[in-house]
Amino acid sequence: MVRVLKTAVVAVTALVAVAAASLPLTAARAEEPVTVFAAASLKESIEQIAAAWKQAGGTEVRLSLAGSSALARQIEQGAPADLFISADLKWMDHLEKAGQIKADTRINLLGNRIVLVAPMGSSVTTTIAPGFPLASLLGNERLAMANVDAVPAGSYGKAALESLGVWESVRDKVAQAENVRAALLLVSRGEVPLGIVYETDARVDPSVKILDRFPEASHPAIVYPAALTTESENLHATDFLAYLQGTDAHAIFTAAGFTVLAKTN
C-alpha cells in the first residue's frame, strides 16, 4: 500500500510539474504581438488603429510597412507575419496561389484613389483628361511614381497614364521610388515638380497639394485585400482582423480618405 501511494504521489507531482512548466509558454503565446505586414500607404491609419486596439484591451501590434510587392516576397520567403494587407489584388493573389495565406480569411478591406500632386508652393494647374499636357508640365524635370512594374501605386498610375494616352510622352521622365511614400517624399521635398500617389497619402502631407484626381475608369479598381498567413499561430490575429472591420477602424479609415469595402462588424 505504501509503495502504491508513493507511486501515485510521484505521478501526480510529475503531472503538476509538466502543467506548471507549460503555463509560461501558453501565457507567452497568448500575449505575443500580432505582426502585420501592411502597404506603406496605410501607415497613419494602421498605426492609429493598432493604438486603439491596444487601448481597448488588445495585444500589441507589430507593424512592418513597405511596398506590397516587397512584403509579399518577404512572406513567401518565410518572414513571420500574422496578417498581410496589400494595396492591390495582384500580390494577395500571388500569395494565395503559393499557399501562403488562409484563403477563408481573405477580405477586400478598403478602396482608394490616385491623384496628381505638386509641392504646396507650385503654381502648376491642370485637369486630368485624355491627352492632358503632362510632359509639357514637367518640362525637363521628372515625375515621381512608385515602381511601375512592382508596386501597386505605380502600376495603377502607369495604367491610368496609358489609358489617357499620356504614358509614352513621360515614360522616360519617371523617377521610380521603392514605394508610394518614397514617391510622395520626392514631391514634398521639391525634388520633382509632380508625382502620382494615393489620395490618402497626399492628405497626410501638408507640403503637397492635389492638382486633380485620375478618373476611376482610367485604371483598375484600387482594392486593399487583407488575410491571415498560413504560418500564423497567433490567437489574437483573427481578432485583430475582425477589429479592422469594426466601427472604430471604419471611422479611422474613412477620416483618412479610404473607402471601406468590408462589411462593418
Distance separating alpha carbons of residues 112 and 208, to the nearest angstrom: 18
Residue 153 annotated as binding site: yes
Distance separating alpha carbons of residues 224 and 241, to the nearest angstrom: 13
Residue 221 annotated as binding site: no
**Which helix (H) or strand (E) is 71 found in, with range?**
helix 68-76
**Which helix (H) or strand (E) is 119 found in, with range?**
strand 114-119
Rounded to the nearest angstrom, the gap between the alpha carbon of residue 102 and the centroid of all alpha carbons in its chain is: 17
Residue 123 annotated as binding site: no
Distance separating alpha carbons of residues 109 and 265, to the nearest angstrom: 12
Residue 163 annotated as binding site: no
Neighbours of 65 (CB within 10 A): 18
**Residue appearing with cell numbers 494602421:** 46
Residue 68 annotated as binding site: yes
* Selection from 112, 87, 71 nearest residue 229 by Cα: 71
> In sequence order, what are the residues at sequence separation of 6 or more whose Cβ sits closer than 8 angstroms to the Cβ of residue 123?
none
Binding-site members are 41, 68, 153, 180, 198
Binding-site members for molybdate are 41, 68, 153, 180, 198
